[in-house]
Amino acid sequence: MNEGRGIVNNKRLKRSVDNRLIGGVCGGIAEHYNLPPILVRLLFLLIPAPLLFVVYM
């Protein structure tokens, strides 16, 4: 039925049980994309900061 449509990824995005700091959301994203959790946490901190500055101006 899904022939010719490529690979179907059945892996769901969910909160991490092992890499929890507050709620496990960044850890879950890191596990889903095979990234270090600290990198995802830093991206969550650094990316919104310039956007908030632009909105403030």
Q: What are the 10-residue block averages of pLDDT along the chain, 57 residues in total?
A: 56 75 81 91 84 71
- Angle 52-22-28 (CA atoms, 0-180°, nearest 5)? 90
What pLDDT is attached to residue 45? 86
* The pLDDT of residue 39: 94
pLDDT at res. 6: 55
pLDDT score of 57: 65
Burial 11-36 (b: 16+ CB within 10 A, else e): eeeeebeebeeeebbbbbbbbeeeee
Q: What is the pLDDT of residue 35?
A: 92
